[in-house]
Amino acid sequence: MQIAILLHPGLTALDAVGPAELLQRMPGNETVFVAREAGPVRNDQDNLSLVAGRSLAEVTRPDVVLVPGGPDVRATADDPVVQDWLRAVDRTTTWTTSVCTGSLVLGAAGLLTGRRATTHWLARDRLAGYGAEPTGERVVFDGKYVTAAGVSSGIDMALHLLGRLGGDDMARIVQLMTEYDPQPPYDAGSPDKAPAHLVDFCRTELATHVDPAG
């Protein structure tokens, strides 16, 4: 089994590394980091590069593909090479997945039309613009298309996928070995839970960090 994590310029590193860290622990799988060309890909904060080991041309039949997001995915969503690759590999994937605004890239490829899906909470309108039906759930399964909400949600998505791919106990072993027993000291991780004035602040001051075109 091959799991392909797409790296694209300006990605949010945790969108990729979070789920990859869990998925790659499944016995018998090869997890590869793939980009338009092999080599370093810069993150959204411009302080870290992740090195893709493979070019798109080298990864033609992954079983799972995962598209991370970033604050500005327009260039990736508009890149015909990336879009053609996504549509091509999607024909044979078991699971086609995204984290955060990675779903906008899948949407631009036409893969989420008419499907229930999710994205970063500040980008739901934009996801709807691609013909998807945005939900407020953290992880959304619609057929073989699996989308996760913002940034950290990819870790939860990975556990769901591990359960489907390798069974509940294998997923639990990975959860235990990565000590994923979350204990956040605040309860502000979704717009339904955070104080209203902070949600408003994010909407008015930080929305362009997620959707520059919005």
Catalytic residue ranges? 100
The SS3 assignment for 153 reads helix
Q: Choose between 128 and 180: whose C-beta lies nearer to a second copy.
A: 180
11 close to 41: Cβ distance less than 8 angstroms? yes
Place of tokens 């500005």: 72
Q: Choose between 53 and 129: whose C-beta lies nearer to a second copy.
A: 53
Q: Which stretch binds a second copy (CB under 8 A): 56-64, 83-91, 107-115, 197-205?
A: 197-205
143 binds a second copy (CB under 8 A): no
Whose CA is closest to 7, among 45, 33, 37?
33
- Token pair listed for 194: 């955070």
135 binds a second copy (CB under 8 A): no
Which contiguous run of DSSP H or E holds residue 68?
Answer: none
194 binds a second copy (CB under 8 A): yes
Q: Which stretch binds a second copy (CB under 8 A): 89-97, 104-112, 125-133, 156-164?
A: 156-164
- Token pair listed for 37: 């060309």
Q: In whole angstroms, how close is the CB of 110 to a second copy at the nearest point?
A: 25
- H-only helix segments in 91-152: 102-108, 124-128
Q: Using CB under 8 A, which residues numbered 6 to 65 contact a second copy?
A: 12-14, 17-18, 20-21, 24, 30-33, 40, 45, 47-51, 53
